[in-house]
Amino acid sequence: MHKQKIRFNFSDTYILEDDVVKLVPLEVEHIKSLLEISNDPNIWMYFFEKGNEIKNLTKYVKSAIENRRRKKEYPFVVFDKRKNRYAGSTRFYEFIPDLNTIKLGHTWYGKEFRGTGLNKHCKYLLFEFMFEKLGLERIGFGAYVENEISIAAMTSVGCKKEGILRGFFPSLNGKGRTDAIVLGILKKEWNENVKYQLKNKLNKV
């Protein structure tokens, strides 16, 4: 039986929002609004591309936009409605139409937006869009095994740890290699419990 492929159009303007957060496609004009909050070296510790200071942030944003044009990534900028400020960025990548899967990552927020519940609102909107609007079967995630804060954030929104990729990343100290942890959420899990558990958490923040 032939399975219908998901239609995810990289040239479309996808806007996701609720009462707390709004996600819109990342554009060059967002650089100025992100500059101040991106000047935090802790944000970029586990990123290959750095976004601190104007030169790095400009390169980072333009690279993400170019990857969207090449249908490799779909980056969003995150706007916090409560603070009336841009808060960070996230993106979809590695969309595989034949498998109906995608990955979500490259997520970062300015210091004042962390631990506020903003990430949970973002993830709810992104999961809802991919699982319910587009009908994808799986969203994948990954991180350095040492990145405990990121791993905790992913598990708190319903991601399940799936395995370890040994020696996947260069070590942060430049000596040798380190492991990556793989996580994921399935459409079945979203429909059965993750959606409702995450929704309950949103009502408490």
Mind listing the pLDDT tens digit for each residue in 173-184? 888 999 999 999
- pLDDT at residue number 173: 86
pLDDT tens for 55-84 read 999 999 999 999 999 999 999 999 999 999
139-165: average pLDDT: 97
User: Does pLDDT of 4 surpass 90?
Assistant: no
Instruction: Tokens for 165, please give them.
Output: 């990729």
SS3 25: strand
- pLDDT at residue number 1: 44
Please state, in angstroms and rounded to a whole number, the distance separating the CA atoms of residues 72 and 105.
13
Domains of the chain: 16-202 (3.40.630.30)
- pLDDT at residue number 204: 77
- pLDDT at residue number 6: 65
Tell me how many degrees the CA angle 108-109-114 measures, rounded to the nearest 5. 125
192-197: average pLDDT: 97
SS3 47: coil
- pLDDT at residue number 205: 65
Q: Which residues make Cβ contacts (< 8 Å) with residue 158, sequence separation at least 6?
A: 127, 185, 189, 190, 193, 194, 197, 198
Q: Which residue has the higher pLDDT, 72 or 205?
A: 72
Q: Which residues make Cβ contacts (< 8 Å) with residue 101, sequence separation at least 6?
A: 94, 95, 136, 137, 138, 139, 140
User: What is the identity of the amino acid at 90?
Assistant: T
**pLDDT confidence tier of residue 9, bands split at 50, 70 and 90:** very high
